């Protein structure tokens, strides 16, 4: 199933164009990029910022810590650090302080015991940040699209409402890529977000503002969404935890853009956080009634699990080779599982993984149940209003006049060429079904698959333009409909985060979450930026 000569030439030209654009971007970075005295934010000195959401909620319930002190500590950290990372794009400090004061007043009345408080409000007083693509009442909801710069949310997205009902206090909204369709979080409204481990590197996308905000200890729990790795790539690049749930468990309602038709099932809303112990409690809250489809309260005996691993996709010519740092980090995990945990660990070669990008395109080309074509990206750019001519926008961009980012213009130009016709769709749909069957038979209900999060650690700004297909390392699991937890594995010699994806069979999210907690305990989890 090798690509045709013509297809190879087209892809070569596409990568060459991306390389030239990347050079322009790198030049812009040198000439116009923001200058900072340090390449990382200052390390955390306030102890309250080094506690998990669950630990903070417990201390607040026990009245050992005032909620207003916790919120103020995070506000102070944001004021110190956010100008460097540009993760939070709109604050709601005044409202957050009022809500924190109300929590302290409620607790002062001592009308309910600790167990009742935990049952009603598991995240009572815990600071929260939310991806700007989600509705948060009174906050912007543009998804970085200039046409929507005046859009203000009149209500909360379902998951945001559920977290607020559980006691969480939103501090603000976080940056994303334009229309959530690129893996660098930069747009014409809010600008670019920077990696707290090195400000000259990307934060990932599309939930990149959330990733860097959490990593820089400007928040402790956050909300992201994922249709091609938009939770997991930012979690990986920023050294935190992120979970893409099994499809259909967590409601997506209240975000823009909203996947519809054939893509609706593959868009997943999920939790992002610094500490693994917050993942399952967040998922329980965010899923609402959908939590009944999971087995999060089932005790997992890690030694009895069957672990499988694969160090790269098998050699797709579209993707970069996997960094040796990442391969070595993965092998350390494998050796530990074998020798220390005593678990069954097997190296596998799933040959169809090299078609990961093609399988993601197949997913995005799928028609809805009603036979309707998927939404066109170029129509989203115009917000279903004014017609957008991508070629004209490219010319305007070269002159510095376009209101759109170059990744969005490029996608709008290429989407019809990337979209599969019926023959090609059926061809790769068969590959996807075959690979999914192979994985399900392998994993069963007691198997876990370890796979690289990305071919490289967080690249420098604009470099993704030269490597547009690398996201397929995460995107393939959207197409396959499997739950995945992104886990940090420390830092490389340059101080950039390492990590790994932990994959399980459908609705076996409890397995990946249990492995995440074990890996955190074993390899240290999140590492505070600025201490390297």
Q: Which residues form the catalytic set?
A: 131, 206, 230
What pairing do the DSSP bridges indicate for beta strands 268-273 and 221-226? antiparallel
**Token output for 203:** 């934060």
**Token output for 279:** 């993942």
Residues 6+ positions from 45 with CB-CB distance below 8 Å: none
* Degrees to nearest 5, angle at CA 200 with 501 and 472: 30
Long-range contacts of 434-438 (CB under 8 A, 24+ apart): 434/352, 435/350, 435/352, 435/353, 435/355, 435/359, 435/480, 436/480, 436/481, 438/350, 438/352
> What span, in angstroms and rounded, lies between the C-alpha atoms of 263 and 479?
9
Strand partners, 242: 272, 486
Instruction: State the helix-helix crossing angle for 509-523 and 324-336, rounded to 10 degrees.
Output: 100
> What span, in angstroms and rounded, lies between the C-alpha atoms of 203 and 85?
9
**DSSP line for 290-326:** GGGGS-TTS---GGGSEEEE-SSSS--TTSPPPPHHH
What is the sign of the dihedral through the CA atoms of 18, 22, 23 and 25? positive
Q: What is the three-class DSSP state of 503?
A: strand
């Amino acid at each position: 199933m090798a690509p045709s000569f013509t297809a190879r030439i087209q892809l070569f030209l596409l990568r060459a164009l991306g390389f030239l654009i990347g050079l322009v971007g790198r030049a812009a970075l040198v000439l116009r990029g923001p200058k900072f005295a340090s390449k990382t934010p200052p390390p955390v000195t306030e102890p309250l910022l080094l506690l998990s959401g669950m630990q903070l909620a417990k201390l607040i319930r026990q009245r050992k810590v005032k909620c207003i002190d916790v919120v103020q500590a995070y506000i102070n950290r944001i004021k110190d650090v956010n100008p460097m990372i540009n993760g939070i794009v709109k604050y709601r400090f005044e409202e957050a302080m009022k809500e924190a004061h109300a929590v302290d007043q409620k607790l002062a009345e001592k009308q309910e015991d600790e167990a009742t408080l935990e049952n009603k409000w598991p995240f009572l007083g815990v600071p929260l940040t939310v991806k700007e693509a989600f509705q948060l009442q009174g906050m912007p909801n543009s998804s970085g699209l200039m046409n929507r710069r005046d859009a203000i949310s009149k209500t909360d997205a379902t998951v945001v409402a559920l977290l607020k009902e559980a006691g969480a206090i939103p501090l603000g909204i976080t940056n994303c890529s334009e229309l959530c369709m690129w893996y660098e979080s930069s747009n014409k409204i809010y600008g670019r977000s920077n990696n707290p481990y090195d400000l000259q590197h990307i934060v990932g996308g599309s939930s990149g503002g959330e990733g860097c905000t959490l990593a820089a200890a400007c928040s402790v729990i956050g909300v992201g969404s994922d249709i091609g790795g938009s939770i997991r790539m930012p979690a990986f690049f920023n050294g935190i935890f992120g979970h893409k749930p099994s499809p259909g468990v967590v409601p997506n309602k209240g975000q823009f853009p909203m996947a519809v038709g054939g893509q609706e099932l593959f868009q997943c809303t999920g939790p992002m956080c610094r500490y693994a112990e917050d993942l399952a409690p967040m998922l329980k809250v965010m899923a609402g009634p959908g939590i009944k489809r999971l087995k999060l309260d089932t005790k997992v005996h890690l030694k009895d699990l069957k672990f499988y691993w694969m160090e790269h996709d098998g050699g797709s010519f579209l993707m970069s080779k996997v960094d040796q740092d990442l391969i070595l980090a993965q092998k350390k995990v494998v050796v530990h599982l074998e020798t220390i945990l005593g678990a069954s660990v097997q190296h596998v070669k799933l040959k169809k993984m090299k078609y990961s990008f093609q399988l993601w395109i197949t997913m995005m080309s799928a028609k809805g149940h009603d036979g309707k074509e998927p939404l066109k990206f170029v129509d989203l750019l115009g917000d279903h209003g004014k017609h957008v001519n991508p070629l004209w926008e490219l010319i305007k961009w070269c002159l510095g006049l376009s209101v759109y980012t170059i990744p969005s213009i490029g996608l709008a130009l290429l989407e019809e060429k990337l979209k599969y016709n019926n023959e090609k769709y059926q061809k790769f749909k068969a590959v996807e079904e075959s690979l999914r069957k192979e994985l399900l038979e392998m994993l069963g209900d007691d198997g876990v698959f370890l796979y690289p999060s990305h071919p490289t650690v967080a690249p420098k700004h604009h470099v993704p333009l030269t490597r547009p297909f690398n996201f397929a390392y995460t995107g393939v699991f959207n197409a396959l409909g499997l739950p995945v937890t992104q886990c940090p594995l420390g830092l490389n010699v340059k101080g950039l985060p390492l990590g790994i994806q932990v994959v399980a069979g459908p609705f076996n999210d409890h397995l990946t979450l249990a492995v995440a907690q074990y890996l955190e305990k074993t390899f240290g989890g999140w590492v505070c930026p600025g201490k390297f």
